[in-house]
Amino acid sequence: MILAAFTFFHVVLSLVGIASGFVAVYGILASKRVEGWTTTFLITTAATSVTGFLFPFEGFKPSYVLGILSLIVLAIAIAARRRVQLVSGWRRT
């Protein structure tokens, strides 16, 4: 029962991340700043990756490698947006 509720929470986080990602991409393509949607995307995507590691597991699988890579890329993107305010080369990041 607890695992089912946790799985539901993980899936909802994923769906919110995907939906906000579509809005963020629209903002990029339309040259509009959609700060709230972009922040929602980054937070929910990071939370989805983190909660993925909390499921019961056996052995090391390729999905863990993808989760680790995802968290590294998200950390760089969050740092680029928040810490250095997308200045100079960080804008490309």
Range of the domain at 54: 2-91
pTM: 0.82
CA dist., res. 74 & res. 53, Å (int): 16
Number of domains in the chain: 1
Per-residue pLDDT tens digits for 14-49: 999 999 999 999 988 888 888 889 899 999 999 999
Which of the pair, 72 or 28, is modelled with greater confidence?
Answer: 72
DSSP 14: H
- The pLDDT, as a whole number, for residue 84 is 65
Distance CA 71, CA 42 (A): 10
